[in-house]
Structure formats: structure tokens, C-alpha cells
Amino acid sequence: MKIAFVYDVIYPFVKGGVEKRVWELAVRLAARGHDVHLIGMKYWEGADTLQKDGVTLHGICLPQPLYTRGRRSIRQAVIFGICLVPFLLKEKFDIIDCQQFPYFPCFAVKLASVMKRTPLVITWIEVWGDYWYEYLGLKGALGKFAERIAATLTPNLIAVSGRTAKNLSRLGVSREVPVFPVGISPGQIASVPASPGRWDFIFVGRLIREKHPDLLVSAFEKLAGESAELTLLIIGEGPEKEAVREQIRKCTSRNRISLQPFLESHDQVIVLMKSANVLVIPSTREGFGITALEALACGLPVVTVDHPDNAISDLITPETGFLAALSADDLAVKIRLALDHYPAMKAACTASAADFDWDRIIPELERYYQLLMPH
């Protein structure tokens, strides 16, 4: 099959959960003999098209700023969507899999798929619903409308988690939506050694409002007052980075907090995860949470926020982590519990991640694509 994945940002030039998932799918499907293409903005020098690990990458426009005043840029999404149409009309694919966010590209891909008679799949990471109003104020009505219409563009919807599949019913989707979750390679993660350094707890992710990195720093400050040895490592980039840096600067325990950018290789992230005892992701919005899954595979219990739009919480049991309220006080309490019990939780954490092996997920997704092709 000639498969196209459409997403505006491409891993490893931009690092994030969706980018990583698309990249892993592409590389593994290419290894199974398929002709796989990633279509996004051009984050590299040289030719617009390049080959990487058996996958063809297409940069169809120059990269645009992803965030404006801490929010995903509408202008960026519109520009990318406009550039998609002429590119897709020149190409012929057997399947086009478009990531649902940031919505505008879905409409461009729909137009091209109709004109080229190509099956269209839209992969849903999460459903925002009324959260649009919190995100954009009154303008959120436009975002909510675009989201609802995007859910009608094709019958071929897939979700990355059971929570997202269920939430699609809020957009009027009455049929059952298949789930193809984010995966990991347990064997590869097991082979990566830990760093000689040690961290009590670690955060890995994009520094955005919804992940509440400020809450994490506040919780650490509370815990640091109880123990002079506690350490925190934050790995990430994003629009909240400078605010987080300033917050750390004001902490009395600032010398025990390290703020680092995203790392060059994924193995480096695993190395640092294995040097920590607990992963903390105080997020209220996660379509799945690949970082949490990778931490579990490393044997780390996970502390996250109990919120209806946080799919990480679906991975958490009493044996694998703790759910906190959206407050620094409760987050600190749950982190302390995790720090007290993490040695006894390691085996259960590792075992829980084994169900998400890419070797199981990829053949199922491949069969799904094949069923959509005309016979």
C-alpha cells in the first residue's frame, strides 16, 4: 500500500506524543514493505522531499509558528491546509490518514480524497467539546463547530484511546470507533541502560498550560521543604517554558530542579527516565499519554491528575500509580506516596505496559487499512 500520514509537524524535527506516534507507525509500516509518506511542514534544510528510515518525508511549506500567545496558531493550521490541496492532487495514495488536530487540514484532505477517490482515515487524539470556550473564549464556538464537522468528514474514524473513542459520541458519532493505541517496544526499552545520575521524579512533555508544569513546581517546593534531598528533572519545550523558568528561579529549592530541553534521541529520554523513581504528569488534557506508557515500561509509577479529559488516568491502577486532584497540595501528597512505594510497584508497572507492544498494534492497523481499499 502507498500510505500517507498527514500532520503539520514531523518527528524528530518537532517532538511530541502525536509526532512520535505517527513516526513509529510510518517506520514500522515501511519495514513491512509499504510505501509510506509523511506530509507536513518543512523543518529541514535542502530538498523539500527526503528519505529517512525507509519513509518519505514531504515538506510542503515553510514551518510556521505553532503557538500564538500560548495557544495553537489558527493561521498556521490554515496555511498548512491550503498548501495540502495542490500537493495531494498531484499524488495518488491508497490510504490517507490525517491526524484530527488542528482540524483545518482535515477539510483539505477531504477535498483531495474525494477528487482522487482515495479512502480517508481521520485519527482522533482527543475531543475538546466545551473546552473550546475555556481555550478561546467566545471564539471557541468556531473551534467547537469545526471539531463537530470534522467528525462527519469520513466514516473511517479511529481513536488512540478508549476514552477518545467514547468521547466522539459527544460529537454525534453513533457508531463504534476502533481504537489503535500508542505503542512501545518493550524489548528496546529494557535494553537501554539507566543514567548514573538519580532524580526523585521527572516530567517529560510539552510545556503548555494543559500539562500544568507550574503546579508540578509548586508541589515540588512543598515537598522540598520536608526533605533536603529531593530532586526534580523537567524535560520539555513550549510556550510556558519561560514562565516555568521564572517560577523555578523564585523557588528556595531551585538548585534541586533541572529544566532541560527536549533531547536529540529518544533513547536519551529513556536513559533519564530510568534514572528517576517517579514520573509526574499533572495534565488535564491527554489523548493517550505515550510518556506515561514509556515510564511504566521503565518501571516508574505515574502520578497524574484525575480529570475526565486525561486519558493517562486510564493507564493508572493502584499498582501502577496515583491520581491527584488539580491542586499543588494533593499533587504533593500523591507524589510522596509514589516516592514511598515505587520499589514495590516496579514489576506491576512494567507488566502493565507490555499490552501496548507495537508488534501487536501494527498488524491490526495494517489490516484495517487493507479493508478500506477498493477491491
Tell how strand 95-99 and strand 2-6 pair up. parallel
The backbone torsions φ and ψ at residue 308, rounded to the nearest 5 degrees and listed phi first, read -65, -20
Q: Which CATH superfamily is domain 186-355 in?
A: Glycogen Phosphorylase B; (3.40.50.2000)
Q: Is the dihedral of CA 34, 38, 43, 44 positive or negative?
A: positive
| All structural domains of the chain with their residue ranges | 2-183+357-372, 186-355
| 8 Å CB contact between 39 and 6 | yes
Least confident of 152-156, 259-263, 280-284: 259-263
Q: What is the mean pLDDT of the chain?
A: 93
% of the chain surpassing 90 pLDDT? 80
Residues linked to residue 280 through DSSP beta bridges, in sequence order: 303
DSSP string for 55-77: EEEEE-S----SEETTEE-HHHH
Mean pLDDT computed over 323-339: 97
Mean pLDDT computed over 228-257: 92
Would you state the pLDDT for residue 266?
82
| 8 Å CB contact between 345 and 301 | yes
**More confident site: 265 or 203:** 203
Helix H or strand E encompassing 158 = strand 157-159
Q: Is the pLDDT of residue 375 over 80?
A: no
* pLDDT tens-place string over residues 72-84: 888 899 999 999 9
Q: Is the pLDDT of residue 245 over 80?
A: yes
pLDDT band of residue 65 (cuts 50, 70, 90) is: confident
186-355 has the same fold as 2-183+357-372: yes
| 8 Å CB contact between 171 and 164 | no
Would you state the pLDDT for residue 118?
95
Cell of 195: 543514567
Q: Is the pLDDT of residue 27 over 90?
A: yes
User: Per CATH, which fold does 2-183+357-372 belong to?
Assistant: Rossmann fold (3.40.50)
| 8 Å CB contact between 254 and 179 | no
Cell of 150: 470534522
Q: Is the pLDDT of residue 348 over 80?
A: yes
* pLDDT tens-place string over residues 109-143: 999 999 999 999 999 999 998 888 888 888 889 88
